Structure 1
Amino acid sequence: MNIQKQIRAFTVSDEEAVQAFEKLTQRYNLQNRIIDRFIYVMTQDYSEICEELYERGELSHDQQSRFECLLLKIKRQIVRFCIEGAETKKLSAKINRLTDLFKRLKKFMSPKMRKRVKDNIFNLHVDLKRKFEQLQLEAMDLAAIESEHQVLMERLAPNHPTFIWYNSKSKSYEFKRIGKKYKKK
């Protein structure tokens, strides 16, 4: 197969990257460093990086195409692993392989380009961290409401046994279901 056709075949669409990221965040703890590496991998525009290195004479045309193809191929595999729900070790190995390849390419990059790539990664990481902190705060709020709710339910339970019962499975007090005659029509 022609290398340009391979490059087209291995290119990851934005929707696929988003889907892979969503699957990853569902499966793994957001605090895990794998998220940082995933963002690092997904934000790289390999065609642009390889093209710039070629224009500066750091890579030959053949090397440019081969490097781009290899980087995109591993990126495609990472997306596939995420969507399939592969185990962490496999996914980490692929991300580490891509990161290593990228580090080799980074040697050739101009300081300006290197800074742009680092800024992209940093900004995305900061956004993700902010979102995670917001989620933590919301979870804390919900936990506070839940505990307050349980205290009130505990107090009400002895006086209203027909309305409130203790669920031994969830270890919490719950309202009993309202009978048909009390439901709104």
Structure 2
Amino acid sequence: MGRPVKEKSLSRQDVINAAISCLDKEGEAALGVNRVARELGIKPPAIYKHLDGNAALKRAVALTIWQQYIQWCHEQTKGLEDPHALLQAGGQATRNFAKSHPERYRTMTQFQLNLKDVETAPLIQEVFSFLKRVLQPYNLSESKLIDAMRTVNAAITGFIALEQTGLMTLERSADASYQIMLDALVVAIQYIQQVETQS
């Protein structure tokens, strides 16, 4: 038997990995079947055996990046139990992921996760599970827990979005400001714990 034809030995994960490589090098515009086929040295129809077009390719890439990000955060927070330490480590892990993989982070955060989607629901539950570990000692009601989760998420993702778009133009260190923000989130959570819940 001769060497297997590359198209025949190609796996779905090979296609996704090649797409992520294109994304890292060229940005979201590179997430197309034709560009990924060139990266793999194959003809585009070979990709359609694994992913049905550009939309399916982008979805598979986003889901894979979410999984990578969650694994990254698990590694960065391993062994931590103190809620404040967890919040600090989780916040720093998210920013470090965005700095190390800016195009992946942008693609990941632009992809909408949906609890009714069987593929994305487990990813949402993973993120919720981490936030619940951070917030568990505060014994928040369901509505206050949602408020706290939204506050933490908005602060961290908002800061990173400003940083990635180059809007941190003042001379104050962004690292110092980010640390202050993470500390301030603890105060914000305590406020949510104490404030009267409004409908």
TM over 0.5: no
Instruction: Determine which structure has greater relative contact order: mean sequence separation of CA pairs < 8 Å that are 6+ residues apart, divided by chain length.
Output: 1
TM-score normalised to structure 1 length: 0.29
TM-score normalised to structure 2 length: 0.27
Please identify which structure carries the higher strand content: 1
